[in-house]
Amino acid sequence: MAQVEALVRYLGVTSPPGRIPAIVERCSIKHLRDDVVSRKLRTPLVDREKKPFAYRKGEIYFNALTHF
């Protein structure tokens, strides 16, 4: 939730009370999977049986000083 709050501050937008927790919940992997299964969300990713699936890996750490 802290990342969403930081993004709201960075963008300089206001958010009504309770909106940020609702955004975080809606973006959870559980909701992502449910939306893919119910076909509310389309994804080009399919398994061997041609069923759509959701894929999300952990955090990506990037350090520009050591990357290049």
The structure's pTM equals 0.53
Under-70 pLDDT residues of the chain:
54-68
The rounded distance, in Å, linking the Cα atoms of 2 and 56 is 19
Question: What local confidence, expressed as pLDDT, does residue 31 receive?
Answer: 84
Residues 7, 26: Cα–Cα separation, whole Å: 16
pLDDT of 43:
75
Q: What pLDDT, on the 0 to 100 scale, is given for residue 21?
A: 92
- The alpha carbon dihedral of 6, 7, 12, 13 has a sign of negative
